[in-house]
Structure 1
């Protein structure tokens, strides 16, 4: 599943529009293959870095993408329940995305309408969908008119999605503060030939996060478990499902090492098409986060996509295209929070201009107001 365009009017995303395609091939870029595997003229952004201050909607957007993907894939409206709050009677979502099946690429537009139902607390979910088989020479830009001019008819989600089939996969990691993500998940679905590769990645990541770690290996005594061995011979057993907070010896940053390793392994082996990585580096130094993102991006194939949230502005110095960076901001209008987003390429695209310098000078208008902090104690 390759995300191309979003239009949201739900929660704090009011008239929120974001486009992940780009019209012209870049002459110089560090990210190769930013196009569909089957249709090279159909260009999209393989890397989407979401940057913003605290509470600007980065995690909310990742969770929204995840929940809508679950809804479409599993055809279960319960994944959308949390998208309607007490203060919202309805929500509207429009999403353009591409699925590739072998040598076939299909562009979809799905319109999803969620209506709050106060009678039995089961929201009404209606869907209107249109699909277009992409052919040689197609791009998103020359497909928009067909999508826009189609006459969409909303139906119950059961009817609208009856013939919808997808083969896309995704992997998501959220902070341990989020429900269901305060658990260690060890990559268990690997075959014998992949075990050495997985352990190599796990060792490299964990040893980088904590130089005192001597070795990481699969436990011989417990199923779906790993053992972390320290240079002083101490050992820590970690099993699938363990609470992150309960693991002894590991620092806060090192505890995220398993989730980071899982994502790296999946990208390296092209297990999924869509990767959502949210706030996995809050306790990790900026240099390590930057190196890991660079490696994740280099491992992506055509037909794959990575969403990555961060507070680390050093990532802006990696030399990625301007169009990879999105800046999020929350404003209060008439007492209601509104989330806005802007892409760096909307302001600048020249190779000799530093996006980091622009960010440091608040060219994207995302700097937080810290006056309240400085007023303490007056």
Structure 2
């Protein structure tokens, strides 16, 4: 599934927040290949989203919500508990509307989830329409809006709701049956607190970490690492041995768990998770036929900006045609990468609420002065340091 639009209200700190993941017109000399729905060359969907913003502006929260959506749509698990836990004002209703496209069936879907205070069920509405060979996003959305307003199914469209005459368990079962038929995808979310979420059902039965990738990444991050070798302990369990110039050794299992993590710097420790992330992207690029969602959250905060850009560029080059990559960072040097302006998204907080700022809606061309606009706080995304300045 490819995310095409989000509307979030009263979940985490989002209030009436909208995020459009499509774009209107093709970019000349686009450095991101296949930035459209496979088989539908005029249906433009962004494959790369670089998310920037001040601390606590909602970057990680966005990734958590995307992950919740995919668990609900694909695995249909823990939906109520996951969402209800993150309602911002507990005494008010919350809502999430997610729009997504499915590359295999060429359908555009809209799923609305409603959460009421002190209720254990989720209200929902769902619609789908076909995407024609030469359809643009706006054309398909007009048809989807019509189905949504009329609240009826037809030969070319489907509409379901929890407000139907069916009992709630039956209506929910019908929704899950449709989603199971329509949506197949994998994902990998690596969060700043080292939590990891992934769907591996379609992934080849290979090690999660490629030793060549691990060695290349670690030796680039830490020049004191002399080698990375495959190892096997006394119990016959496989893993990796990280060798240092002073003859120290750090052992790691196939899933990236470190036996003595205190030996590693924060940057090198995060580099292991980056290596695992890159390995998964490359493995999927080689072997997987299903679309994937990748979310890498603040895992290169301690990396040099040129190293960060090199790794982001590598990930982009290895993305499958029907995959999306979300990356969060505080490093504004990444704005100087040769990417379309619509690849950059900023998050800001107006008082206590998070909002999305999409620069392509403000500038009508691929403006390479984006970094200057950010430094001059044109988007109001820089942190307010007034309280700290008053301590001087």
Q: Same fold (TM over 0.5)?
A: yes
Q: Does 1:205 align with 2:217?
A: yes
What are the ranges of 5 or more consecutive residues in structure 1 without an aligned counterpart?
A: 184-188
CA distance in 1: counterparts of 2:140 and 2:375, whole angstroms? 37
Q: Which residue of 2 aligns with 1:299?
A: 318
Q: Which residue of 1 aligns with 2:368?
A: 353
Q: Does 1:341 align with 2:356?
A: yes
Q: Does 1:80 align with 2:83?
A: yes
- Could you tell me whether the CA contact under 8 Å between 2:99 and 2:111 is conserved in 1? yes
CA distance in 1: counterparts of 2:255 and 2:320, whole angstroms? 31
Is 57-66 or 245-254 further displaced after alignment? 245-254
Q: Which residue of 2 aligns with 1:127?
A: 124
> Out of 238, 243, 250, which is 2:264 matched to?
250
* Per-residue deviation, 1:56: 0.5
Q: Does 1:96 align with 2:96?
A: no
CA distance in 1: counterparts of 2:53 and 2:142, whole angstroms? 33
- Could you tell me whether the CA contact under 8 Å between 1:128 and 1:160 is conserved in 2? no
Q: Which residue of 2 aligns with 1:14?
A: 15
Q: Deviations over 1:102-156 (max 9, x none)?
A: xx32211111111232xxxx62212211112222112221111111111345314
Alpha-carbon distance change, 9 to 191 in structure 1, aligned in 2, over 3 angstroms: closer
Alpha-carbon distance change, 89 to 143 in structure 1, aligned in 2, over 3 angstroms: same
CA distance in 2: counterparts of 1:39 and 1:72, whole angstroms? 23
Q: Does 1:66 align with 2:85?
A: no
1:83 partner SS = coil
What are the ranges of 5 or more consecutive residues in structure 2 without an aligned counterpart?
A: 152-159, 163-167, 198-202
Alpha-carbon distance change, 17 to 288 in structure 1, aligned in 2, over 3 angstroms: same
Q: Which residue of 2 aligns with 1:136?
A: 133
- Could you tell me whether the CA contact under 8 Å between 2:301 and 2:331 is conserved in 1? no
Q: Does 1:154 align with 2:161?
A: yes
* Structure 1 vs Structure 2 CA RMSD: 2.3
Q: TM-score, normalised by structure 2?
A: 0.84
- Could you tell me whether the CA contact under 8 Å between 1:43 and 1:139 is conserved in 2? yes
Q: TM-score, normalised by structure 1?
A: 0.87
- Could you tell me whether the CA contact under 8 Å between 1:316 and 1:356 is conserved in 2? yes
Number of aligned residue pairs: give it: 357
CA distance in 2: counterparts of 1:161 and 1:65, whole angstroms? 18
Equivalent residues in 2 for 1:1-378, closer than 5 Å: 1-11=1-11, 12-76=13-77, 77=79, 78-85=81-88, 87-101=90-104, 104-117=105-118, 123-150=120-147, 151-152=150-151, 154-155=161-162, 156=168, 157-165=172-180, 166-176=183-193, 180-181=195-196, 198-221=210-233, 223-239=237-253, 247-270=261-284, 271=288, 273-332=292-351, 337-351=352-366, 353-377=368-392
